[in-house]
Chains A and B, each alone.
Chain A
Amino acid sequence: MKILYFAWLKGKVGIGEEAVTPPAEVATVGALLDWLATRGPKHAAALANRSIVKVAVNQEYAALDHPVKSGDEVALFPPVTGG
């Protein structure tokens, strides 16, 4: 599974992209965020306030109950501010 971080999430985690292999029971976006937050203090700090973290699975916005699986591209980013 490929995880992408954008904007301040990238700054807090310290990397823009990582390949991860979560355990099989991590089957939803919510469970994935919980698991990613255990990867280290930087991850935990970046994911401390879930209300300002948006998630896209395979480039579509996804809610916490959206399924995730091996091979997915999961992006984590703050609310968008373009235009």
Chain B
Amino acid sequence: MIRVQREDFDVGAELAALTAGRTDVGGLASFVGLVRDMAGGAAVGAMTLEHYPGMTEKKLAEIEAEAQRRWPLQASLIIHRYGRLEPGERIVLVATASPHRQAALESCAFLIDWLKTKAPFWKLEDTATGPQWVEARDSDDEAAARWSPAWRGAE
């Protein structure tokens, strides 16, 4: 399930809903991304997340479908917020449910790694010198690349 929304979400309620009424789920993994008050050693105030409506939902659905293809998932959820967010606020929730923990944990890491490099979101941070667009990091590309088919095949 994919949701792109301005408003906050309740992590506990979302996770509970994901497995409600099921008794076959053995592991539920989740990742919550938050707004930090520091970036590269400099203080950061609020940030504004912009996205590409339409393509965002399309890419998130593709990424989720890829996770469903690679791991035996019983449920999955991606919620990503946009708009103005203060330090400490939640940005993103990724959750995966599977009969076994390894599939849940791996697919959850896969979803957030791929989301960071493929979903069309951009962060504009308030800094002491004015608003600054966040630059993409090579480390995010490297994190996503470890889930490439070649990497899977090399296991």
A35 contacts chain B at the CB level, 8 A cutoff? no
Q: Which residues of B contact A83 (CB under 8 A)?
A: 33, 80, 91-92, 112, 115-116, 119, 121, 140
In the complex, what residue of chain A is closest to B58 when comparing beta carbons? A59
Q: Report B71-114 CB contacts with A as 1/0, cut-off 8 Å.
A: 00000000010000000000110000000000000000000100
Interface size of A as a range: 10 to 19
B127 contacts chain A at the CB level, 8 A cutoff? no
A59 vs B58: C-alpha distance when bound (angstroms)? 8
B3 contacts chain A at the CB level, 8 A cutoff? no
Given contact pairs A59-B58, A75-B52, A80-B116, enumerate 12 new A-B contacts (beta carbons under 8 Å).
A6-B52, A7-B124, A77-B52, A77-B120, A78-B136, A82-B121, A82-B122, A82-B123, A83-B92, A83-B115, A83-B121, A83-B140
A6 vs B135: C-alpha distance when bound (angstroms)? 14
In the complex, what residue of chain A is closest to B119 when comparing beta carbons? A82
Interface residue ranges, B against A (CB under 8 Å): 33, 49-52, 54-55, 58, 80, 91-92, 112, 115-124, 133-136, 140
> Chain A's interface: helix, strand, loop or mixed, by majority?
loop
A56 contacts chain B at the CB level, 8 A cutoff? yes
Q: Report A47-83 CB contacts with B as 1/0, cut-off 8 Å.
A: 0000000001001000000000000000101111111
Do B133 and A79 have beta carbons less than 8 Å apart?
Answer: no
Interface residue ranges, A against B (CB under 8 Å): 4, 6-8, 56, 59, 75, 77-83
Q: Give 8 CB contacts A-B under 8 Å.
A: A78-B136, A79-B136, A80-B117, A81-B133, A82-B122, A83-B33, A83-B112, A83-B115
Q: Which residues of A contact B136 (CB under 8 A)?
A: 78-81
Q: Which residues of B contact A79 (CB under 8 A)?
A: 135-136
Among B122, B124, B134, the residue within 8 A (CB) of A77 is: B122
Do A7 and B122 have beta carbons less than 8 Å apart?
Answer: yes
Q: Which residues of B contact A78 (CB under 8 A)?
A: 122, 133, 135-136
